[in-house]
A and B are shown apart, each in its own frame.
Chain A
Amino acid sequence: MRDVAVVGIGMGDFGELWEKSLRTIWAESALAALTDAGVGEVDLITVGCMAPGLFVGQEHLASLLADELGMAGVPAARVESACASGGLALRTGFAEVASGLSDTVLVTGVEKMTDVDGADATYALGTAADQEWEGFHGITFPGLYAMLARIHMQRFGTTSEQLAAVAVKNHANGLLNPHAQYHLKVSVEDVLASTMVADPLRLLDCSPVTDGAAAMVLTTVERARELAGDRPVVKVTGSGLATDAITLANREDLSDLGAVRKAAERAYEMAGRQPKDLHVVEVHDCFTIAEVMATEAIGLFERGEGGPAAEKGLTSLQGKIPVNTSGGLKSKGHPVGATGVAQAIEIVSQLRGEAGNRQVEGARVGLAQNMGGSGGSSIVHIMEVA
């Protein structure tokens, strides 16, 4: 395998972007990444997008978007793994460059979610669950994670206050991210007083519905060194992908995220790294309980210790291991197909030393964990300063 580097990143503001269409937000972020990289041509475009057919009534997306950028003729492929579609787009690009099939790949993620109303958005997101044996009964994504939270609470004593601490931290980080959907300081009391969505998860335990796009350019480390100038070159040193039963009823252990654990193990093995080597981490906090369980599954904390760790501030910007410095899905927003790419962009920004007010000093090794559905798929990438 060839060594792969990230040579350009680009994303616009996340939020309710009513004045812009999917293709517009996508092209803006793609162009920003190509400009950042100093690259005009690519061998492949990957597009992570979960459900354009349901959200904007558009399939055949990769070709449409290649043309939108004036790149009709260039190979382009949409990949989908629900909310992990962006991570899958990154892994696909990584594999193409590593294998030598492509030299330079434009990796993108996008979701336009506010062209439909709330009930239709809830339905579209619900298609990431087992529609015949879960969706049939009216369960929603907050509902599925609420079921996982109940089990985690019963088995480990995780509390609503600990979950609230995750929201408080991520909103505090989001205040420092100009691209974040919410610039909103929240307290534990605010979270605990917010509307119940699916017991025990409240509105401020949930990530929002968001429009957004994110893009990055991958190439060989050799070419990256030529293009980077004085900036640090960031290598992708580990990539892990794993699946689990998407139906909760068929999961062996509902107190852990098996796909996340496996994907992380695979990424650590490829990179020759361990959890203790990490300086900065982005995890898939679609719900506060998801961050707690993900920090356990990627090995930052023992099982059952994710909640207490959040409450003690171990994952805050000044903590032992900063988690979701971008504000996470919770505050930055969660345009599902874009999320995995946006997470990786945050890690690249941190490793380049370009993260501004939220910079983790001396960050040289970072990890991004993206997750599909209620944990039916997960993709983990480890990136390092070359």
Chain B
Amino acid sequence: MDSPARAWREFPQRYRLEAAKCTVCGKILYPPRVVCPKCGASTFETITLPREGTVVTYTVVRVPPAGFTEQTPLPIALVELMEGLRVMVQIGDLADPSDLEIGMKVRLEFRRVSWDGEAGVIFYGHKAVTA
């Protein structure tokens, strides 16, 4: 799964937080899709997501999947960036994972997410830190 082609084609979303806004109903899709799930239209304009949000739910992964063993314990949250738009992200820079709570204000920052897969790709994206 960690192929250079896959990493490359996801740059706009991973690196620049680009989302698609439906030109008919205004629904925002992240990642972009071919068809709007709300109204069925298929014309979009590109927008950039806000970086501030609120923790909707979270966990701290203690038994990681292959590729994340060096980052354990790994706090991960669903963060709501705007009404109805949530993203899954790691929470970075937490001294104590028990500080995490629902409703916490966070800010997305560009970070290294994982590395050392079979293809040697270093994956960058966004992590959330305490706002």
Contact = CB atoms under 8 A, between A and B. Distances in A.
Interface of A: 118-120, 122-123, 126, 131-140, 142-143, 146-148, 150-151, 154, 195-201, 247-250, 254
Contacts of A118: 63
B64 A140 contact: yes
Contact of B74 (A134, A138, A195): A138
A138 B76 CA distance: 8
A100 B65 CA distance: 45
Contacts of A133: 31, 87-88
Interface stretch (B17-25, B41-49, B52-60): B52-60
Interface in B72-90: 74, 76, 78, 86-90
Contact of B59 (A135, A154, A198, A249): A198
B88 A249 contact: yes
A168 B89 CA distance: 33
Contacts of B123: 136
Given A132-B31, A198-B59, A199-B97, A139 B76 contact: yes
B86 A150 contact: no
A118 B64 CA distance: 10
B1 interface: yes
Contacts, number: 103
B57 A139 contact: no
Given A131-B1, A147-B78, A119 B65 contact: yes
B67 interface: yes
B88 A122 contact: no
B65 A150 contact: no
B65 A126 contact: yes
Nearest to B71: A138
13 contacts: A123-B65, A137-B113, A138-B65, A138-B113, A138-B114, A139-B59, A143-B59, A143-B76, A198-B60, A247-B88, A248-B86, A249-B86, A254-B78
A142 B60 CA distance: 10
Contact of B57 (A122, A138, A147): A147
B78 A249 contact: yes
Contacts of A138: 61, 64-65, 67-68, 71, 74, 76, 90, 113-114
B113 A197 contact: no
B62 interface: yes
Given A198-B59, A254-B57, A137 B89 contact: yes
B63 A140 contact: yes
Given A132-B31, A248-B78, A123 B66 contact: yes
Contacts of A123: 65-67
Contact of A154 (B61, B86, B102): B102
A249 B85 CA distance: 8
B69 interface: yes
A201 B60 CA distance: 10
Contacts of A247: 88
B63 A142 contact: yes
B116 interface: no
B61 to A, nearest CB: 5
Interface centre among A135, A148, A150 (most CB of B within 10 A): A150
A198 B61 contact: yes
Contact of A195 (B6, B62, B90, B125): B62
B80 to A, nearest CB: 9
Nearest to B127: A137
Given A122-B66, A150-B102, A137 B31 contact: no
Given A137-B113, A139-B88, A254-B78, 12 more contacts: A123-B65, A136-B113, A137-B88, A138-B65, A138-B74, A139-B61, A140-B65, A151-B57, A151-B102, A196-B60, A198-B62, A254-B57
B10 interface: yes
Complex A-B, nearest 4 residue pairs according to Cβ-Cβ distance, in ascending order: A146-B59, A138-B68, A249-B86, A119-B66
Contacts of A254: 56-57, 78
B4 to A, nearest CB: 15
B10 A132 contact: yes
Nearest to B98: A199
B68 to A, nearest CB: 4
Contacts of B61: 138-140, 142-143, 198
Contacts of B65: 119, 122-123, 126, 135, 138, 140
Contacts of B56: 151, 254
A138 B75 CA distance: 9
Contacts of B74: 138
